């Protein structure tokens, strides 16, 4: 039985630019054969049992030769596997996808090509440079800046290319920038022609240098521009100053450490990416079940003995509902009870379970819950509070002072996640992190524990926290809070970072 190969373009770098069909192929694949410039986050969208094979190449090092890659695709397909050959940009734009397709066709292997967004278009766009504009350019040409080493002479017709197209886009040409520029000027392109070099385009590490053919080499050298880079030549480059948008995003280029549990880190990471930041995950908390479910199960079975069930985190909702279902019950078991949620994220989690809170405080903190309940006359009410094992006593004591009877049960435990060997940790120690985000007192205490004797490295970066309890945990460690969310939500945390850096730029 033969399998099938999908030649999939992953896009230019930003993982959000992969096509819907490309993502669907990844999710259904048995084997992924992927390149160096593919964003690692895309590999998280594949099934856990999928085989991942790295065949990346750089200008001075190849993990696999092209012939080996071709044979690998044939071999895996003949094993009956669904294979995704995941390539940067578009498979058929200077990506050797045509060669791979030829080999598959010659071996009677079924294949499909799933085009990707080419870096020749996307990278200039992210730098604010349209490759065509009716005022300046009605044509553009994409050219390799790195011809195959097996060629005896250049196949680029410099005498025609240089002035034959309004906009010229060179891919993989950083090492040959000086040669490219000299050939263009030698064959008629004016030295004053605008030019740009864009490194690591569409990612938060994007760098753009603008000049003319006469000085672009020295400017790129002065800025230490490294591959991968796209070179753009033509009058459209002049539009960058008016059209630049990506590197004007509020958190562009900021390296931000996310300390939330792995499952919850993605949401914050996505918000940061949309604002141009580079999220770096260092989950210092792991959410695990309690040592025994006896107390939780008993509370669920006796829900009718309560008037309220109050959720103070998404984790509490998830764990509570998982136990509800494991007891062969569903949300109908909560009929007649009133439900409280601490904030919007918890409300959304309840909504996904078919539940809607009766109470949401105006301020999304424990004190906010207490203040809101003052007008609800809960004296004598029985409140079930499923929460973390290390949650503070402020909420329980505050509810009791209002006359409520509180039944607190452990819905989950937060334990230290052993991430001491991660690259994220090393980035922090090397001073490469701009901001550390904290979303609970546990993230503060656990990051200090993960860093051990080197925990003072935290002092060398900016610190952002989600609310007053988290800020207090930082203060207890003698650490200064630089950014405090006005609203105790992930969105509020991101807004606090935006406001901080906007104020810094104004200064």
- Which are the catalytic amino acids? 35, 57, 172
Q: Which two tokens stand for residue 96?
A: 């050797």
- HEC string of 406-437 equals EEEEEEEEEEECCCCCCHHHHHHHCCCCCEEE
d(CA 7, CA 98): 10
d(CA 19, CA 116): 7
Radius of gyration of the chain, Cα coordinates, nearest whole angstrom: 28
Distances (CA, A) of 272 to 177, 281, 355: 33, 12, 29
Distances (CA, A) of 290 to 327, 361, 411: 16, 28, 6
Nearest to 384 by CA among 410, 406, 369: 406
55 beta partners: none
Q: Is 46 exposed, middle or buried (0-12, 13-18, 19+ CB in 10 A)?
A: buried
Residue 114's contacts (CB-CB under 8 Å, 6 or more residues apart) are 6, 7, 8, 9, 19, 21, 22, 25, 91
Nearest to 202 by CA among 89, 90, 110, 302: 89
d(CA 463, CA 125): 33
Q: Where are the beta strands (DSSP E) in 285-325?
A: 285-288, 308-311
Nearest to 273 by CA among 250, 244, 299: 250
d(CA 267, CA 349): 13
414 beta partners: 287
d(CA 327, CA 321): 10
d(CA 177, CA 180): 5
Q: Is 63 exposed, middle or buried (0-12, 13-18, 19+ CB in 10 A)?
A: middle
Query: Residue 87: enclosing H or E segment and its boundaries?
Result: strand 82-87
3-state SS, residue 256 = strand
Q: Which two tokens stand for residue 6?
A: 């999908």
**In the block, which residue shows the tokens 């094993």?**
79
């Amino acid at each position: 039985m033969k399998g099938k190969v999908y030649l999939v373009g992953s896009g230019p770098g930003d993982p959000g630019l992969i096509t819907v069909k490309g993502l669907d192929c990844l999710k259904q694949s048995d084997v992924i054969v992927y390149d160096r410039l593919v964003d690692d986050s895309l590999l998280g969208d594949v099934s856990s049992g999928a085989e991942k094979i790295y065949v990346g190449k750089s200008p001075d090092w190849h993990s696999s030769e092209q012939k080996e890659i071709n044979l690998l695709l044939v071999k895996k397909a003949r094993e009956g596997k669904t294979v995704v050959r995941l390539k940067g940009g578009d498979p058929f734009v200077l990506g050797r996808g045509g060669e791979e397709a030829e080999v598959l066709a010659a071996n009677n292997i079924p294949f499909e090509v799933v085009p990707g967004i080419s870096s020749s278009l996307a990278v200039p766009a992210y730098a604010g440079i349209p490759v065509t504009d009716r005022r300046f350019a009605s044509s553009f040409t994409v050219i390799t800046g790195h011809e195959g080493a097996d060629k005896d002479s250049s196949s680029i017709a410099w005498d025609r290319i240089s002035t034959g197209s309004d906009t010229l886009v060179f891919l993989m040409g950083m090492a040959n920038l000086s040669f490219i520029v000299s050939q263009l000027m030698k064959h008629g392109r004016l030295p004053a022609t605008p030019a740009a070099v864009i490194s690591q385009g569409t990612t938060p590490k994007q760098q753009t240098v603008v000049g003319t053919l006469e000085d672009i080499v020295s400017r790129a050298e002065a800025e230490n521009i490294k591959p991968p880079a796209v070179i753009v030549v033509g009058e459209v480059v002049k539009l960058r100053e008016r059209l630049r948008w990506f590197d004007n995003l509020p958190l562009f280029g900021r390296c931000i450490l996310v300390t939330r549990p792995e499952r919850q880190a993605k949401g914050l990471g996505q918000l940061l990416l949309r604002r141009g930041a580079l999220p770096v995950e260092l989950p210092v908390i792991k959410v695990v079940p309690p040592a025994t479910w006896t107390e939780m199960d008993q509370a669920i079975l006796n829900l009718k003995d309560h008037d309220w069930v109050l959720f103070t985190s998404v984790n509490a909702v998830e764990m509570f509902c998982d136990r509800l279902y494991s007891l062969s019950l569903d949300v109908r078991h909560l009929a007649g009870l009133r439900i409280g949620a601490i904030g919007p994220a918890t409300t959304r989690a309840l909504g996904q379970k078919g539940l809607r809170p009766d109470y949401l405080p105006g301020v999304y903190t424990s004190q906010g819950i207490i203040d809101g309940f003052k007008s609800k006359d809960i004296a004598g009410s029985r409140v079930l509070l499923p929460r973390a094992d290390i949650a503070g006593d402020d909420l329980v004591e505050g509810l009791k002072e209002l006359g409520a009877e509180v039944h607190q049960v452990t819905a989950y435990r937060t334990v230290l996640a052993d991430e001491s060997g991660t690259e994220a940790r090393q980035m922090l120690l090397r001073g490469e992190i701009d901001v550390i985000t904290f979303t609970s007192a546990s993230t503060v205490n656990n990051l200090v524990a993960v860093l051990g004797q080197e925990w003072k490295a935290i002092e060398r970066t900016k610190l952002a926290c989600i609310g007053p309890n988290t800020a207090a945990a930082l203060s207890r460690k003698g650490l200064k809070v630089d950014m405090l969310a006005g609203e105790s939500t992930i969105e509020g945390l991101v807004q606090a970072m935006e406001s901080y850096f906007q104020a810094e730029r104004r200064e």
